[in-house]
Chain A
């Protein structure tokens, strides 16, 4: 195997991003694009050996790298992945590639900076998913915010400043409390090794307080009701690529945090507060489903739909079963593809008509049949149609939730109706009907490049829908281990 492969996956895109930034100004925009594509494809190809070489028979961390970093605080540069982080890393590198392709012609201003920011962010996100040292994790976690902040703030819509500040304050507030929690754990364990924290005994009161500190960080990120209101604003103002990364990957960090920190480090508090977590998840699924129904802005609608889908992730995590956890991870990966694809679809329309309002469209299918077919597929995946990836996670979580308590399953399953209602109603109003406005009549179908991006996503969505086993196969051991950890008691 390739030595230091995880480090390469993190630092190659970051180095590439810095290089592109140095490549400079808009005179050499094409160079920046080509470099960005080369680096993102290289990163994706580099992550493939992770899957091929992954040993699904063990829950242990693999591809481990460990070096002393700040010896005086016992901090290490410690990387490694298991079956929970591997799918998310693959999702990140795959999405990174598509984002570069999607921004190819759309971005005409500060091209090098745009692609540089994305590549750096991609490396940082892979870093989050592969850190095994809490401080390293925290550094990546916070650093990742900066490029996203810039992407929305520079290439965003008219109300971008409000959105970026809301985004930054929300997420930063959460993260700071997580830092406090990590420091408290350090003073107990005298190490930032995450695996060492798993065996640390912690009293119930402390566990609950720590849980709440972590919860704020992760709940904002994922986001859970009621700390979700930053997401629709951020999405609406973000450029298409920003929305895709935000929805496809950044939201997953919250879910990943629960699985990596809250459950194994604080199992007693997790169980104690699981009722609250499940209640918030179910509220997200039902409440947000109705809110999504009445949105007039396509991006806002998809943003709300993301929140409802993330409700399935937190629900799956906090029912403490293998079915639930595997469903939650599958849902995260699938949502990455589906919501990313839907934001790209909105981007395709926005690039042509410069509007995200549903009412400005109608009759698109007559002018853009290929695009309409792609969007149909992604809309159906968003409505959890079997045979698409969107079904797999929701189905597993509903099964697991019903087993835990029939009412959880019943409430969660309402998303079958609401999810179809808001997605397909939007689809009907945008795509079907007669092309009344002259702008719609002048629409041109997708280009080869756009077709390539949507086509890759369509393959992913259908592939996981028709045969999810290769995806779930790698997580079995890690999830089984996690469920055992979450079931054990760590009280004094």
Chain B
């Protein structure tokens, strides 16, 4: 098994290295072939070897080599292959393969073609290292490596000012999350003496009652501290408020990577990480309450913003934020399996939506404003149908995949007893309406109504080539059916085995499982609770506002001008961060430099010493006047003083 585990990430790395270092020599076709071959190998091995092996109850936990030893600490690089990582590997390599193929078409005219393929293969390698890790160090390595590639890909068009600004912002905001993450790892090392998952998880229950005293006079549960620190990392990577600000800007990157990195895989790393750490989070209800509330707020507040966005990619980006909020909320109520389930279905339907949007953008000659689209259904039938599938899944309409996973999350939150659960349930339920509204607003604006683009663009409208449409279709299939196929094995079938730990008192999913009698009854049962009606109402509102009475949205936005401005300003997070953090850091740096270094240290201390020496020597110099009678007087006076001194003592 170890050979297979090594082959999977290394195949991707090899593709990345070949295309990155020798791409200029071997050319475009060879570059995309070699990277696609690498990812294809990884996908085939994941789906045909690793996944079946874990489903039959096997796990692999072994190290490849010792990264370093220091003191009593030994840090290996190794793999933990269990159902959770196997599922993630399959999803990551599948979406990555689709995106690789799609990029042949999307990036066709780009001068950085080979570099692009090298980056996305490198990303796949890093993401695989992250999900396959068996220890915190390697997790962090993968974590930072995906962040690096994300940074490189957001700023892929490095002459575009908005792109390089967005890439820097993404990296720095993620670093804020990493700050917490590293401290969480340090806390684990301090209290467990090891960074190995298995060791830490085994010891964790014994530490459940440990308290730490960070500030004199206060005491916190150790587990709460560790979990919250780790969650700060997850908030950065999975873009939870208030560390979400980088994700919408990341849309400056090429669309295929928005699908791969900023929708399907990397941004779910935080979700995966918390699920992986379920043995720790189960020990801290307080931390889980925080997770739940932050997830729920992100779920609703970001959905609102999606409604007022006009850039097609930004609509989907805010939707991703909102959906990540759902996943996070599910983690908070210990429904880790439901969260991973939504992660998987979301990977399919969101990658599908992004790639469809990319197809539209290519057809529109890189126009991304939905106000200048319209009526595209006649020109792009495949893209149109795929977008429908993705939208239905996102809005949570049965029997599409998103319906099952989203309903499970709502059910789980509804059944939970943890602090904050009732609040989160209502917030997330409200978000269902908003989700359907913004999703179908986008769909109707892009594909229905009168074409609003200029004449030249309209004349050249056509469906995208097969390298683009084939991945769309291949993603549309799981986006449609993955929900009904996976719900039973993933949630009620002990698929995850021991890879996810839930304490019996909080196990909402097993409670729901007792009421579960198959896909049909599950769908029927959904009609007894509000979310499905809210979704339908959202679609109906979108239809009314954007097809039936297209002038109404403008009137509403003028009428509720204040609210509209708050939403278009995205609640002012960017302005606040720019002013307080970026501006504050620069002002502080300048103050420390000009006052601390230049004035006090150099001016007062160094310069002051020099001036003092100068002043003293200037005085001393006067003594050496060169006049013999001055010296004679000094000698006589000195002699007199000394004689007085010796005679009287």
A pairs with B: yes
**Closest-CB distance, A395 to chain B (whole angstroms):** 8
Contact A292 B589 (CB under 8 A): yes
CA distance A392 to B141 in the complex (A): 11
Decide if B567 is an interface residue (CB 8 Å cutoff).
no
Contact A287 B606 (CB under 8 A): no
Contact B73 A323 (CB under 8 A): yes
Contact A417 B589 (CB under 8 A): no
CA distance A365 to B597 in the complex (A): 33
Contact B175 A417 (CB under 8 A): yes
Contact B140 A323 (CB under 8 A): no
CA distance A322 to B179 in the complex (A): 23
| 10 smallest beta-carbon distances between A and B, as pairs | A402-B186, A322-B71, A290-B589, A294-B589, A432-B164, A386-B141, A293-B589, A291-B593, A403-B190, A432-B158
Q: Which residue of A lies closest to B115 (CB)?
A: A369
Decide if B82 is an interface residue (CB 8 Å cutoff).
no
Decide if A414 is an interface residue (CB 8 Å cutoff).
yes
Contact A293 B586 (CB under 8 A): yes
Decide if A399 is an interface residue (CB 8 Å cutoff).
yes
Select which of B186, B588, B592 is within 8 A of A398 by beta carbon. Answer: B186
Contact B588 A290 (CB under 8 A): yes
Select which of B159, B164, B168, B586 is within 8 A of A294 by beta carbon. Answer: B586
**Closest-CB distance, B636 to chain A (whole angstroms):** 37
User: Interface majority SS on B: helix, strand, loop or mixed?
Assistant: helix
Q: Mark B267-301, 1 if CB is under 8 A from A, else 0.
A: 00000000000000000000000000000000000
Select which of A323, A420, A433 is within 8 A of B70 by beta carbon. Answer: A323
CA distance A472 to B161 in the complex (A): 42
Contact A413 B66 (CB under 8 A): no
**Closest-CB distance, A106 to chain B (whole angstroms):** 27
**Closest-CB distance, B216 to chain A (whole angstroms):** 11
List 20 interface pairs A-B (beta carbons < 8 Å), by A numbering.
A226-B601, A229-B601, A229-B606, A290-B593, A321-B71, A322-B72, A366-B159, A386-B137, A387-B145, A392-B68, A395-B137, A398-B186, A399-B73, A402-B190, A406-B214, A428-B155, A432-B155, A433-B159, A472-B69, A476-B69
Decide if B172 is an interface residue (CB 8 Å cutoff).
yes
**Closest-CB distance, B146 to chain A (whole angstroms):** 11
**Closest-CB distance, B321 to chain A (whole angstroms):** 22
Give the residues in chain B near A327, CB-CB below 8 Å: 70
Contact A386 B144 (CB under 8 A): yes
Contact B592 A420 (CB under 8 A): no
Decide if A87 is an interface residue (CB 8 Å cutoff).
no
Contact A380 B148 (CB under 8 A): yes
How many residues on the B side are at the interface (Cβ–Cβ under 8 A)? 52
Give the residues in chain B near A467, CB-CB below 8 Å: 65, 67
Q: How large is the interface on A (under 10, 10 to 19, 20 to 34, 35 or more residues)?
A: 35 or more
CA distance A73 to B189 in the complex (A): 50
In A390-438, the 8 Å CB interface with B consists of 391-392, 395-396, 398-399, 401-403, 406-407, 409-410, 413-414, 416-418, 420-421, 424-425, 428, 431-435
Q: Mark B165-178, 1 if CB is under 8 A from A, else 0.
A: 10110011001101
CA distance A395 to B175 in the complex (A): 14
Decide if A469 is an interface residue (CB 8 Å cutoff).
yes
CA distance A391 to B143 in the complex (A): 13
Give the residues in chain A near B586, CB-CB below 8 Å: 293-294
**Closest-CB distance, A7 to chain B (whole angstroms):** 32
Decide if B602 is an interface residue (CB 8 Å cutoff).
yes
Decide if A326 is an interface residue (CB 8 Å cutoff).
yes
| Given pairs A229-B601, A385-B144, A417-B179, 5 additional interface contacts (CB within 8 A) | A226-B605, A290-B589, A293-B586, A424-B172, A467-B65
Decide if B547 is an interface residue (CB 8 Å cutoff).
no
Decide if B467 is an interface residue (CB 8 Å cutoff).
no
CA distance A417 to B71 in the complex (A): 27
Give the residues in chain A near B137, CB-CB below 8 Å: 386, 395
Contact B144 A406 (CB under 8 A): no
Give the residues in chain B near A395, CB-CB below 8 Å: 137, 182
**Closest-CB distance, A488 to chain B (whole angstroms):** 18
Decide if A239 is an interface residue (CB 8 Å cutoff).
no
Give the residues in chain A near B140, CB-CB below 8 Å: 386
Contact A469 B179 (CB under 8 A): no
Q: Which residue of B lies closest to A421 (CB)?
A: B172
Decide if A363 is an interface residue (CB 8 Å cutoff).
yes
Decide if B183 is an interface residue (CB 8 Å cutoff).
yes
Q: Which residue of A lies closest to B195 (CB)?
A: A399
Contact A406 B187 (CB under 8 A): yes
Contact B585 A421 (CB under 8 A): yes
**Closest-CB distance, B187 to chain A (whole angstroms):** 7
Give the residues in chain A near B189, CB-CB below 8 Å: 399, 402-403
CA distance A320 to B167 in the complex (A): 39
Q: Which residue of B lies closest to A414 (CB)?
A: B179
Give the residues in chain B near A321, CB-CB below 8 Å: 71
Contact A403 B186 (CB under 8 A): yes
Give the residues in chain B near A407, CB-CB below 8 Å: 214
Give the residues in chain A near B65, CB-CB below 8 Å: 467
**Closest-CB distance, A344 to chain B (whole angstroms):** 21
Q: Which residue of B lies closest to A288 (CB)?
A: B592
Contact B214 A294 (CB under 8 A): no
Give the residues in chain A near B155, CB-CB below 8 Å: 428, 432
In B59-99, the 8 Å CB interface with A consists of 65-73
* Given A387-B145, A417-B175, A433-B164, A402 and B183 contact (CB-CB distance below 8 Å): yes
**Closest-CB distance, A391 to chain B (whole angstroms):** 8
CA distance A236 to B172 in the complex (A): 28
Q: Which residue of A lies closest to B602 (CB)?
A: A229
Contact A434 B159 (CB under 8 A): yes
Q: Mark B139-161, 1 if CB is under 8 A from A, else 0.
A: 01100110010001001001101
* Given A402-B190, A403-B186, A416-B178, A323 and B164 contact (CB-CB distance below 8 Å): no
Decide if B590 is an interface residue (CB 8 Å cutoff).
yes
Contact B179 A413 (CB under 8 A): yes
Residue among B152, B155, B164, B176 with most chain A CB within 10 A: B164
Contact B66 A409 (CB under 8 A): no
Decide if B52 is an interface residue (CB 8 Å cutoff).
no
In A3-44, the 8 Å CB interface with B consists of none
Decide if A157 is an interface residue (CB 8 Å cutoff).
no
**Closest-CB distance, A229 to chain B (whole angstroms):** 5
Give the residues in chain A near B66, CB-CB below 8 Å: 469
Decide if A468 is an interface residue (CB 8 Å cutoff).
yes
Give the residues in chain A near B597, CB-CB below 8 Å: 229, 291
CA distance A410 to B67 in the complex (A): 24
**Closest-CB distance, B592 to chain A (whole angstroms):** 5
Contact B67 A420 (CB under 8 A): no
CA distance A386 to B190 in the complex (A): 20
Decide if B57 is an interface residue (CB 8 Å cutoff).
no
In B572-596, the 8 Å CB interface with A consists of 585-586, 588-590, 592-593, 596
**Closest-CB distance, A380 to chain B (whole angstroms):** 6
Q: Mark B412-456, 1 if CB is under 8 A from A, else 0.
A: 000000000000000000000000000000000000000000000
Q: Which residue of B lies closest to A287 (CB)?
A: B592
CA distance A472 to B70 in the complex (A): 7
CA distance A322 to B73 in the complex (A): 10
Q: Mark B201-231, 1 if CB is under 8 A from A, else 0.
A: 0000000000010100000000000000000
Q: Which residue of A lies closest to B588 (CB)?
A: A290
CA distance A375 to B632 in the complex (A): 70
**Closest-CB distance, A241 to chain B (whole angstroms):** 26
Give the residues in chain A near B178, CB-CB below 8 Å: 416
CA distance A409 to B71 in the complex (A): 18
CA distance A396 to B186 in the complex (A): 9
Give the residues in chain B near A396, CB-CB below 8 Å: 70
**Closest-CB distance, A18 to chain B (whole angstroms):** 35
* Given A365-B158, A476-B69, A385 and B148 contact (CB-CB distance below 8 Å): yes
Q: Which residue of B lies closest to A376 (CB)?
A: B152
**Closest-CB distance, B139 to chain A (whole angstroms):** 10
Select which of B73, B144, B168, B185 is within 8 A of A425 by beta carbon. Answer: B168
CA distance A293 to B144 in the complex (A): 22
Give the residues in chain B near A365, CB-CB below 8 Å: 158-159
Contact B183 A410 (CB under 8 A): yes
Give the residues in chain A near B183, CB-CB below 8 Å: 398, 402, 409-410, 413
